[in-house]
Amino acid sequence: MPSPDQNTVPEKSVLIIGGGISGITAAVEAAETGCRVYLVEKLPYLGGQVARINEYFPKLCPPYCGLEINFKRIRNNSGIEVLTSSMVEEISGIPGDFKVRVQTAPEYVTPDCTACGDCAVVCPVETDDPFNHGMTRRKAIALPHELAYPVRFHIDDKVCTKDSCKKCVAACKYDAIHLGANAQTREFKVTTVILSTGWKSYDPENLTEFSWGNSADILTNVMMERLGAPNGPTEGKILKPSDQQPARKIAFVQCAGSRDENHLPYCSAVCCSASLKQAIYFTRQDKENKADIYYIDLRVSGRNEDFLNRVEDNDQIRLIKGKVISVDLDENRPVIEAEDILSGRKIRADYDLVVLATGIVPEIPGIPVTLLDQDGFIIKESLENGFSAGGCCCEPKDVAATVQESTGLVLNVLKGNA
Ligand SMILES: Cc1cc2nc3c(=O)[nH]c(=O)nc-3n(C[C@H](O)[C@H](O)[C@H](O)COP(=O)(O)OP(=O)(O)OC[C@H]3O[C@@H](n4cnc5c(N)ncnc54)[C@H](O)[C@@H]3O)c2cc1C
Ligand code: SF4
Ligand code: SF4
């Protein structure tokens, strides 16, 4: 596909806020039709939540295949500028002629970094690794994760001791570390702004009825994705965080904080399919492994219905229709109390691991609350005059739906409808 000629100003230029699968899709689709694209991501790497997923439902393929194809499209297209560790400060101007001011955090590690890792070897400071939700530790200077794009080490400003240390600077053979770097502010002129800031997990701190924080063996669904991932804390072997012994019996608690007036009133749409997927990859690890999925309704639709049939045929997985009343600890072992709606009986059962299927909360860049629905998601239809939005900041959805929607957004931009 053609990329914009360096000497001509493209008629359309787009600034995309959020470099998850939604923003990445919009970026490559727009750039490959000749738009100039600026992709602004607050983290030091692209990929958003998908970069941390173990296997994609419904096909159970590695999400990195899809991401890598897109990273290749980005690398090969001079019309896309990726600004990681960056946030939009201000948008001014008029539709079709916006000025967007973007601040990029200090670039302590420059593009000269070859990702050799010598700096991390000498770095004396350790911190929780946010990529693995704190289940592992990393050095203050580290590659955000082993498949990170851009492939560049990154310094965690909050813990690095800088001038009193400088060990990484001396260790780097490529002169790629500059601890005196400052934040940079740049301004871009664009015709369109796309919001694709995605989602974060519902805060499990609110789930006191499920003993959150009292046991390392009570996890959220996003932590489970990392536990199952080959590049995760246990190289994909699902072990109990408390003692690193293999987990043999796992309970999945559906709607943990979703469809509940005390928490999130809405259905997060993807967590049923996510738990089915996690139960499949857990039971696949050993014939002895057993998974119980406690649900109110199993909400899977479209192609994911075949996926549900697959789970129903798996005799290592039980689907239990019933709301979990509580998760307690008995001698440090998680115990679930639930009602089994179909038999009318109460269940009390202990497990090696309990996975809370926490819901999706929208991440919103600073936009007026009048543009949000009652649950805090962006109302796409309320955006006009050069603004549009896609992905999970508009409503919870899976990757296939996100990709379709973002491609559609770009068509609207090209037709001048956004
Ligand atoms: C446990 C779990 C498992 C899942 N498994 C699957 C699966 O197997 N298959 C599937 O199809 N779907 C799955 N999903 C759904 C999938 O994660 C979403 O469809 C996908 O993440 C949506 O992408 P997005 O780009 O909208 O959002 P995100 O992935 O959240 O990306 C948004 C990006 O925007 C960035 N950002 C946020 N705010 C700003 C800001 N102000 N400025 C700059 N950048 C910002 C974020 O850092 C992030 O990189 C799963 C969901 C859960 C909860
Ligand atoms: S910053 Fe330097 S030492 Fe560290 S990984 Fe990059 S090139 Fe290697
Ligand atoms: S200066 Fe910071 S990143 Fe570098 S080695 Fe010291 S603590 Fe680690």
Dihedrals φ, ψ of 173, to 5°? Answer: -75, -10
Residue 4 has pLDDT above 60, yes or no: no
Q: How do residues 149-200 score in pLDDT, each as one tens digit?
A: 999 999 999 999 998 999 999 999 999 999 999 999 999 999 999 999 999 9
The answer for residues whose C-beta is within 8 angstroms of residue 255's C-beta and 6 or more apart is 267, 271, 295, 296, 323, 357, 359
User: Do 395 and 278 have their domain in common?
Assistant: no
Report the candidate in 348, 345, 383 with the shortest Cα–Cα distance to residue 364.
Answer: 383
Give the atom of ligand 2 at the shortest distance from the alpha carbon of 143: 5
Residue 23 has pLDDT above 80, yes or no: yes
Is 210 inside a domain boundary? Answer: yes
Question: Can you give the pLDDT at residue 65?
Answer: 82
Which burial class, exposed, middle or buried, applies to 103 when counting CB atoms under 10 A from its CB (0-12, 13-18, 19+)?
A: middle
Question: Can you give the pLDDT at residue 370?
Answer: 87
Q: List the domain range (segments joined by +) for residue 145.
A: 118-171
User: Do 219 and 354 have their domain in common?
Assistant: yes
Taking the centre of ligand 2 as the mean of its atom positions, its distance from the CA of residue 156, in whole angstroms, is 14
Ligand nearest to the CA of 362: 1
Mapping DSSP onto H, E and C, the string for the chain reads CCCCCCCCCCCCEEEEECCCHHHHHHHHHHHCCCCEEEEECCCCCCCHHHHHCCCECCCCECHHHHHHHHHHHHHCCCCEEEECCEEEEEEEEECCEEEEEEEECCCCECCCCCCCCHHHHHCCCEEECHHHCCCCEEECEECCCCCCCCCCCEECCCCCCHHHCCHHHHHCCCCCECCCCCCEEEEEEECEEEECCCEEECCHHHCHHHCCCCCCCEEEHHHHHHHHCCCCCCCCCCECCCCCCECCEEEEEEEECCCCCCCCCCCCCCHHHHHHHHHHHHHHCCCCCEEEEEECCCCCCCCHHHHHHHHHCCCCEEEEECCEEEEEEECCEEEEEEEECCCCEEEEEECCEEEEEECEEECCCCCCHHHECCCCCECHHHCCCCEEECHHHCCCCCHHHHHHHHHHHHHHHHHCCC
Instruction: Indicate if ligand 1 lies below 6 Å from the C-beta of 22.
Output: yes
Report the candidate in 56, 72, 66 with the shortest Cα–Cα distance to residue 22.
Answer: 66
What residue owns the CA closest to ligand 1's atom 28? 198
Ligand nearest to the CA of 175: 2
Taking the centre of ligand 3 as the mean of its atom positions, its distance from the CA of residue 172, in whole angstroms, is 11
User: Do 217 and 235 have their domain in common?
Assistant: yes
Cβ contact 297:269 at 8 Å: no
Taking the centre of ligand 3 as the mean of its atom positions, its distance from the CA of residue 156, in whole angstroms, is 9
Residue predicted with more confidence, 199 or 296? 199
Is 176 inside a domain boundary? Answer: no
Question: Can you give the pLDDT at residue 10?
Answer: 60
Structure token digits, residue 245 = 């012994």
In the block, residue with structure tokens 């691991």: 353
Q: Which of 138-142, 190-194, 261-265, 353-357 shows the lowest mean pLDDT across its residues?
A: 261-265
User: Do 84 and 188 have their domain in common?
Assistant: yes
Question: Can you give the pLDDT at residue 417?
Answer: 65
Give the atom of ligand 3 at the shortest distance from the alpha carbon of 125: 7
Mean pLDDT along residues 239-247: 97
Q: Which of 334, 360, 386 is the last residue of a domain?
A: 360
What residue owns the CA closest to ligand 1's atom 26? 391
User: Do 341 and 206 have their domain in common?
Assistant: yes
What residue owns the CA closest to ligand 2's atom 8? 116
Is 334 inside a domain boundary? Answer: yes
pLDDT tier at 418, thresholds 50, 70, 90: low
CA distance 129 to 136: 6
User: Do 260 and 393 have their domain in common?
Assistant: no
Is 344 inside a domain boundary? Answer: yes
Instruction: Indicate if ligand 1 lies below 6 Å from the C-beta of 363.
Output: yes
User: Do 347 and 384 have their domain in common?
Assistant: no
What residue owns the CA closest to ligand 1's atom 15? 398
User: Do 270 and 342 have their domain in common?
Assistant: yes
User: Do 143 and 253 have their domain in common?
Assistant: no
Q: Provide, rounded to the nearest whole percent, the portion of the chain with pLDDT above 70.
A: 97
Is 112 inside a domain boundary? Answer: no
User: Do 191 and 222 have their domain in common?
Assistant: no
- Number of folded domains in the chain? 3
CA distance 53 to 228: 9
**Whole-structure pTM value:** 0.95
Is 370 inside a domain boundary? Answer: yes
Give the atom of ligand 1 at the shortest distance from the alpha carbon of 49: 29
Ligand nearest to the CA of 165: 3
Q: How do residues 46-84 score in pLDDT, each as one tens digit?
A: 999 999 999 988 889 887 788 999 999 999 999 999 999
Taking the centre of ligand 1 as the mean of its atom positions, its distance from the CA of residue 92, in whole angstroms, is 27
**Which CATH number do you get for residue 45?**
3.50.50.60
Taking the centre of ligand 3 as the mean of its atom positions, its distance from the CA of residue 123, in whole angstroms, is 5
Is 39 inside a domain boundary? Answer: yes
CA distance 51 to 108: 23
Ligand nearest to the CA of 390: 1
User: Do 242 and 191 have their domain in common?
Assistant: no
User: Do 330 and 291 have their domain in common?
Assistant: yes
**Ligand 2 pocket test: which of 110, 146, 172, 178 has the largest number of ligand atoms within 8 Å of its C-beta?**
172
Is 343 inside a domain boundary? Answer: yes
Dihedrals φ, ψ of 120, to 5°? Answer: -65, -30
What residue owns the CA closest to ligand 3's atom 5? 123
CA distance 363 to 378: 9
Mean per-residue pLDDT over the chain, rounded: 93
